[in-house]
Amino acid sequence: MTADLTAARTADVTGDVWLPIPPDEIEGLPQGPDYLFYDGGEDGTQEYPGDPADCVLYVVPYMKRLSVRVGPLEHMRKLKVVQTLTAGVDDVLSRLSVLAPGVQLCNARGVHEASTAELALTLTLASLRGVPDFVRAQQQGLWEGGFRPALADRNVLIVGYGAIGAAIEDRLAPFEVARVARVARSERTTARGPVHPLTDLPALLPEADVVILSTPLTEQTKGLVNADFLARMKDGALLVNVARGAVVDTKALLAELENGRITAALDVTDPEPLPPGHPLWQAPGVLISPHVGGPSSAFLPRAKRLLVDQLARFVNHEPLRNVVLTTGATADA
C-alpha cells in the first residue's frame, strides 16, 4: 500500500479510541483517531476522558472492577470495536446487548499465553513437589524432607486446547511427561496429536495424573468440573485451574479435597475474590494463587504489540485479529 493511499484511508477514521495504557507510552500507534486514556483510575472513579458517544474503538481496562470495564458501553453509540486485554470475554459478553448491531468483540489472544502457561507449570510443579509444605516448615524452622511426586512420567490432561492450552503443552515438553491428552470443544488433529471433544472426558479422566483447566467460560463449560468429573479422576490426581473459577463446582471440589482423594492448585475460584473464611482457604491439599495468570512482566509488551497491530488494521480498514463475535450477527444466537 502506498503512503498516499494509506493516508487517504486513515483520514476517514474519525472518532475517539479509548486506551487503558497512556497513548504516549505505546510506540507506533497509527495516525487518524484521537487517542484518549481511560483505565478507571486507582479507585475506579476516573471521569470519562471524553464523550463516550464519540468512541469508535474501546479497549477494556485490564484488572479493574466490572463497573469500570463495562460501564461506558451503554453510552458508546458509534462504537465499532470492543477490544479486551483478557483471553476470556465472559464479563463483557453480559453487556453486549446494550450495543448496536455490527460491533466486533476481540479478545487478547497472543497476550497471555506465555504468562498463563508459565503459571500453570509453576502451580503444577509446586503442588506435586510439596513447595507449600516446605514454606510452612521453613516458617517454623523445620527440616522436613521425604519423597514427592515428580512431573516426569505423569499423564497430563489439558482441558481447553486453544492458544493457552497449546502454550502449556509447549512448556510440558522438557519435563519428560509420559503422555499429554488434549480436550477442546471441537475435535481436531494437531501436529502434536489428536484433540478430543469434551464428550471423551469420561474415558480420559481416569488415566490422568494431572488435569489442567485452560478452557474459556461458556454455557457449555460452566460447572464442567462437577461431582461426576471429579469422581472420575484417579486417586491422588492433581487438578490445576488457570481458566475461570466457575468452570469448577466449588462445593463438589471441596468434598474431594476434604476427603483427601485429590489435590488442587487454583489460580481462579468461584466465588472470586475468595472471601475471608471461605472453606477453600483451609482445605487440605490445595494451593491458591489470586488470579495472577496474566499479570506479569510479560503482559505489557505483548498488549502494546497487539494494540498497535489491531489499530493499524482498524484505521486501514483491514480485517481485525481475534474477533470472537459481531453483535447482531446470526452466529451470535
Please state, in angstroms and rounded to a whole number, the distance separating the CA atoms of residues 87 and 69. Answer: 15
Q: Which of 112, 196, 278, 291 is catalytic?
A: 291
- The reply to whether 196 belongs to the active site is no
User: What region, left, alpha or beta, does residue 117 occupy, with left being phi > 0 and alpha being psi -120 to 50 degrees?
Assistant: alpha
**Is residue 311 within 8 Å of 28, Cβ to Cβ?**
no
**Is residue 254 within 8 Å of 280, Cβ to Cβ?**
yes
CA-nearest of 238, 109, 213 to 161 is: 213
> Could you give the residue numbers annotated as active site?
291
